[in-house]
Amino acid sequence: MVAVDSLIPYARNARTHSEDQVAQIAASISEFGFTNPILTDGDKGVIAGHGRLAAARKLALTQVPVIELGHLTAIQKKAYILADNRIAANAGWDEELLKLEIAELDEADFNLDLMGFGDEELERLLNGDGDTTGLTEDDAVPDVPTDPVSKTGDVWVLGQHRLLCGDSTVPILYGWKEGAKHFWCGDRDQSDIWNYKKPHVNDLHPTMKPVELVERAIKNSPMMCLGPNVVVAVADLLTDASNAALLDIERIASAYSHGKQMARGGMVVDLVKKDNYSAALYIPGKPPLPLVGVKAIGFFQALVDAYRGGSPGVPTKQLMTAAGSACASPRQLLGNEFWNSVEGKYVGFPPGVQRGSYQLLV
């Protein structure tokens, strides 16, 4: 084993490794172990394994297995660096056998993301290249189910985004009724009246929307700084007056504040995994907390489970077990810099406790 910090990448390495690929390598190492040693010359210069070295650093590993090829000349070293990458790329696949292997792994409920195949590749290998064109008419609309999965007001968690289910059949409403009170939206730096042509009605879209008008409003809005989308269900915000074309401005403001809170941290405590190696912690009123590494994810998942179970305080030893670590403290497990950024903001001691257990600060 050799210290990671002592290894020197080849300055003219022509092989590139994207962040996504490095994350895949890191996930593979976490699942299977460091099964492929890094190859070095006699002076700890990396010959093969630059991607594995980057993944080791991403995983905060301090040592990695190394095979030293000190017998290679400078020219042989240069040639091997190219040959090691190129010869492997020249290999092919037996498609039928590959499909059988992938299918068996899928049936065993194994995480196929660890294989390195893209979503489209996996879809093709599992389900074939079936032609789905021409199965429906362009204007065909499915019947509304008796008990739909999504209902107005439902909130779906989509990674770092929140999607609020509304009603797309309600036309967009714009303009002010004569004599009605205007709603102050804050830093408006343009005129109140914007002149745009009225959209033409057609058979496909009877309620055409003023797209250019909405686009300008979005670009002119300070609400762009939110990041994740905030969707307001207009159908629920109509006034009770006889003129149903009016919107209840106070209810719109309330719905927007509600949506903004969801965009900034969600409405419930949750930990959402992107893959086995990365996730995000959501706590109402706080920015989403990105988590990297199986140990960090295990640590915070235990805190989330405890909070949901009604006993938010979790003993340190139990947290270390959930993280799969023998570390003595969260600081040792997560590192000083990360722990300093979350202690007192996302994680802290339960009330009246000074040591020995932790809980989420909700």
| Domain co-membership, 300 together with 350 | yes
**Chain-centre distance for alpha carbon 267:** 17
Q: What is the mean pLDDT of residues 233-262?
A: 51
Cα 195 from Cα 213, distance rounded (Å): 8
Q: Please give the helix or strand (H or E) that residue 283 lies within, else none.
A: none
pTM metric for this prediction: 0.37
- Residue 141: inside a domain: no
Pair of tokens at residue 347: 């994680």
Q: What is the pLDDT of residues 250-284, one digit of tens each?
A: 655 555 555 554 555 456 788 888 777 888 888 88
| Domain co-membership, 49 together with 85 | yes
- Residue 247: inside a domain: yes
Q: Please give the helix or strand (H or E) that residue 60 lies within, else none.
A: none
β-pair partners for 63: 3
User: Which DSSP category does 206 fall into?
Assistant: S
Q: What is the pLDDT of residues 63-111, one digit of tens each?
A: 999 999 989 999 999 999 999 888 888 888 888 898 889 888 888 888 8
- Residue 7: inside a domain: yes
What integer best gives the mean pLDDT of the chain? 78
| Domain co-membership, 215 together with 254 | yes
* DSSP output for 210-222: -HHHHHHHHHT-G
| Domain co-membership, 184 together with 259 | yes
Cα 210 from Cα 9, distance rounded (Å): 55
- Residue 135: inside a domain: no
- Residue 160: inside a domain: yes
| Domain co-membership, 170 together with 74 | no
- Residue 71: inside a domain: yes
Cβ neighbours of 320 (radius 10 Å): 21
Do 40 and 67 contact (CB within 8 A), yes or no? yes
Instruction: Kindly report the CATH number assigned to the domain that includes residue 41.
Output: 3.90.1530.10
Q: What is the mean pLDDT of residues 174-196?
A: 57
- Domain span at residue 352 reads 270-360
- Residue 140: inside a domain: no
- Residue 300: inside a domain: yes
Cα 271 from Cα 290, distance rounded (Å): 10
Do 112 and 106 contact (CB within 8 A), yes or no? yes
Count of domains for the chain: 4
